Amino acid sequence: MKIIDRLNEDRIHISFEVFPPKTDDGIEKVLAATDEIAKLDPAFISVTYGAGGGTSKNTARIASHIKEDLHVLSLAHLTCASSTKDEVRDVIENLKTLGIENILALRGDIPANMPFPGEDRFHYAWELIQEIRQHGDFCIGAACYPEGHVENEHKADDIRYLKQKVGCGVDFLTTQMFFDNDIHYNFLYRIREAGITVPVLPGIMPITSASQMKRSQELSGTVFPRRFLAILDRFGGSPEAMRQAGIAYATDQIIDLLANGVKNIHIYSMNKPDVAAEIMRNLSEIIKC
């Protein structure tokens, strides 16, 4: 089944994300976490691509496990900056062989000390999307940035590039994490005005430690609202309190989104089935409405 078909159903969908281990030795731990998340009846589970392409083989393995063994829809990430065009095409063919129907197409981070762009690599996500379209009947997702991509100076450029990317064959979008829902609502208004009509899944990251917040800000450049900073200031020194507060904050974001008509939400669960389970318990009656 394709994810776009699920997203078009008239009901609430909550999905989760897992990431491969840095080495093959950690694969069993990741699979065990994935198994627990699958018990929460998610709309789908996405699997990120290995940093620098190093663990990309485990992306396909985990995505196949989710689909074939857990009988849950799986979404395999595919980045192109760290791989040659031939390597990317090999990955696409492997996903097709495994019966993976859903791909999240990303440029990805440019590896340090690597000349980019090179002639043997895709330069932009829209080029990767075109390539995927030529190699099979995939459902293709892509990323979007409510606060603006860190490499673009103006939000108008973001919208223009996003419209170009969607026009190449994107079925749905997933946002970068954000912590102020008003930013998301404003972003939706702007892209709809620009004629971008595909479903948009807000990406929610439960921040359960002070170090996780710092890392998230480094990766995404997101702005933390004062309300969240107050939580960090008050509870950041206590791991247990910060975990509880972070889950409560993420739950509150999700409830607000649902109350305002958003039906499809993606949670960056960071291989933490306990955090995912607590959020779902908090939403147990809400998602039935």
Active site residues: 17
81/173 Cα distance (integer angstroms): 19
Cα 13 to Cα 145, 190, 195, 287: the distances in Å are 21, 24, 24, 8
Give CA–CA dist 231/222, Å, rounded: 17
Choose among 139, 259, 263: nearest CA to 201. Answer: 263
- What are the residues facing 16 on neighbouring strands? 45, 267
| Number of alpha carbons in the 13 Å side-chain half-sphere of residue 109 | 13
Q: Which segments of the chain does DSSP mark as H helices, in order? A: 3-7, 27-38, 56-68, 85-97, 125-134, 155-167, 181-193, 210-220, 226-235, 239-259, 273-282
Nearest partner of 15 among 251, 258, 289, 280, judged by Cα? 280
Tokens found for residue 202: 């807000």
Helix (H, G, I), strand (E, B) or coil at 9: coil
Instruction: Give 58's contacts (C-beta < 8 A, 6+ positions apart).
Output: 20, 21, 24, 27, 30, 50
φ and ψ of 141, to 5 deg: -105, 160
Please identify which residue in the block is written with the tokens 């089944």. Answer: 1
The answer to whether 171 and 138 are in contact (CB under 8 A) is no
